[in-house]
A and B are shown apart, each in its own frame.
Chain A
């Protein structure tokens, strides 16, 4: 528990990077990573919710009775999800449509509830902020990298820019559901090989 704030932040980027190290939050990971752009959008939305809920849960940790804590966390998280939903609807409408049902589903993303329960309810506000931000950015990086792999192979583009010549035949498998499972599985294997820092 003698970790500094900086360490709390950086652990989210490698040692505990979701969903590779903490195998949580798989549904959005699989569903939205057809392209880099979607991955980053989803990652940032989740980061916002994580940061908000971590701060609030940490601030209220001595007020919330432990018997009803999970229900309280869920209400806090759902509030931030609603905020993000309305913000995205107002400012990034095309992305809002692509992500669709997965924005309200951030509520049941186990990463968010997991951090509230495992970290924010036991630590101070500053540390919880660092933790939320670190895990959130780690999640965004993971989604973006998975999105990059699938977009390059499945559509032959990266962020919408073609990377191969016109003769490239897109590897359709990668942008569909089976490709999502297989590429995430192989990414996990690569992370296992790379080992912990």
Chain B
């Protein structure tokens, strides 16, 4: 049990998918201007990330490895994720309209979010068991959400500050992200 807790903490903080593994930076910068969009994106990533992690693990084990066609992994995973996103979108629209409205346009954007694809690939490369994959997918997604929401809070403050002209917008956001990454970097001492 202790191992699982350690694994979860390492995925959320030490190996934070955004700030230590550099995955999912486009939505990180794109949706962090407002707290609302950041929360929507974070929720969508947790939701789809966990499902994608589990499904790609099963597909990899029972389809790709079973038939010896691992070289098709990239193509299969992206198709699985794209189909999953479509399916989740249709399902939510029909049965849980409230959640669908909350996630809104962030769902389709997830297809090209490399954090989701990245965590699926990490699970396979690290040869995690099924339970471990389930846990790491969730932990990575939560880590993504945590970093995104923290960053959105900082960015809302930056809007009020006077920033030198060349540094405005994305540039200052990246420098701030660097400082945020520095705080997460400190967790490396824990491992």
Which residues in A have some Cβ–Cβ distance to B below 8 Å? 23-27, 30-31, 70-71, 74-75, 78-79, 81-82, 85-86, 100-101, 104-105, 107-110, 113, 176-182, 184-186, 188-190, 192-193
* Chain B residues within an 8 Å CB radius of A178: 178-179, 181-182, 185
Q: Complex Cα distance A116/B92, Å?
A: 29
* Chain A residues within an 8 Å CB radius of B22: 27, 30-31, 177, 180
A104 touches B74 (CB 8 A): yes
B101 at the interface (CB under 8 A from A): no
Smallest CB-CB separation from B112: which chain A residue?
A: A108
A104 touches B73 (CB 8 A): yes
B71 at the interface (CB under 8 A from A): yes
* Chain A residues within an 8 Å CB radius of B181: 177-178, 180-181
Q: Complex Cα distance A126/B184, Å?
A: 47
* Chain B residues within an 8 Å CB radius of A74: 78-79, 82, 111
B99 at the interface (CB under 8 A from A): no
* Chain B residues within an 8 Å CB radius of A188: 170-171, 174
* Chain A residues within an 8 Å CB radius of B114: 27, 105, 108-109
* Chain B residues within an 8 Å CB radius of A192: 165-168, 171
Contact of B82 among A26, A27, A71, A105 (CB under 8 A): A71
A30 → chain B, closest Cβ, in Å? 4
A78 touches B174 (CB 8 A): no
Given known contacts A75-B79, A182-B179, A192-B165, what 7 new A-B pairs fall within 8 Å (CB)? A27-B22, A105-B117, A180-B178, A181-B177, A182-B174, A185-B177, A192-B168
B24 at the interface (CB under 8 A from A): yes
**Residues of chain B from 4 to 28 with CB closer than 8 A to chain A in the complex:** 19-26
B118 at the interface (CB under 8 A from A): yes
Given A26-B29, A107-B117, A185-B175: A190 in contact with B74 (beta carbons within 8 A): no
Contact of B173 among A70, A75, A176, A185 (CB under 8 A): A185
* Chain B residues within an 8 Å CB radius of A184: 174
B13 → chain A, closest Cβ, in Å? 13
Q: Complex Cα distance A25/B127, Å?
A: 27
Given A82-B74, A110-B112, A180-B22: A105 in contact with B121 (beta carbons within 8 A): yes
Given A105-B114, A108-B117, A189-B167: A177 in contact with B74 (beta carbons within 8 A): no
Q: Complex Cα distance A176/B187, Å?
A: 13
Contact of B185 among A75, A104, A177, A193 (CB under 8 A): A177
* Chain B residues within an 8 Å CB radius of A101: 118, 121-122, 125
* Chain A residues within an 8 Å CB radius of B164: 189
A110 touches B118 (CB 8 A): no
B121 touches A104 (CB 8 A): yes
